[in-house]
Amino acid sequence: MVRPAVSVPLVAALAAALAAACSSSSSVGDAEVVRYLRAQPPDRRTALVADAEQRSRATDVITRGGQPLTLLGPTLDVGAPAPDVTLIDSQLAPWRLADQRGKVVVLSVVPSIDTRVCESQTHHVSDAIAALPPGTVVVTVSRDLPFAQQRFAEEARTQTVMASDAKAREFGRRFGLEVDESGLLARSTWVIDKAGTVAYRELVADQTTEPAYPPLIAAAQAAAAR
């Protein structure tokens, strides 16, 4: 049987995440990580590219160190319905955005939790939960494996839900956040209101910097009041 080709960025990302997940500080064993990887379906990147809506490219939105980056997928403006996407939580269970209807959802999207800026962003958003309306669902999204996310959450004692887009990889494409050059997600923050509509978004222009937190908190408070 001929195995499907896997892109170099994807292999590199999985290798880095696997190394982090299997570090000595992780509570997850090597065998469990291997079983999880073997259970995944073939890479869906080719199938996603075939979708005309998801082939759109934007090269004038974000940069890294002054170099333009390419975003793949549609542009979601404030007022647009949020796509119904499924992520995987740290317990390997599906987490569906559509299941959160009736609640305000804050999404903190980071390229990789094992980097300094992403770690700082996750701590800031976790600390902001105390200022958010009761019942707000706060989620950190990345393409790290769930094992790496769980390890980070345990070590850093963060309070956000951790959700991975490493399996189906649909979140990045449907939210227009997949970075073509790296295969990772673009740093951004979002508020999804009770009706499932985008109430706020910030695509961080320079991906080496953190998002603005006061506007995010204010947007979540306004969405809860409606």
4: CB partners within 8 A, 6+ apart: 42, 43, 46
Long-range contacts of 203-206 (CB under 8 A, 24+ apart): 203/61, 203/62, 203/71, 203/177, 204/62, 205/61, 205/62, 205/63, 206/62, 206/63, 206/64
The one catalytic residue among 62, 87, 106, 118: 118
- Decide: helix, strand or coil at residue 139: strand
7: CB partners within 8 A, 6+ apart: 43, 45, 183
- Decide: helix, strand or coil at residue 83: coil
How far is 121 from 130, CA to CA, in rounded Å? 16
How far is 146 from 165, CA to CA, in rounded Å? 9
118 catalytic residue (yes or no): yes
Point out the residues that are catalytic: 118
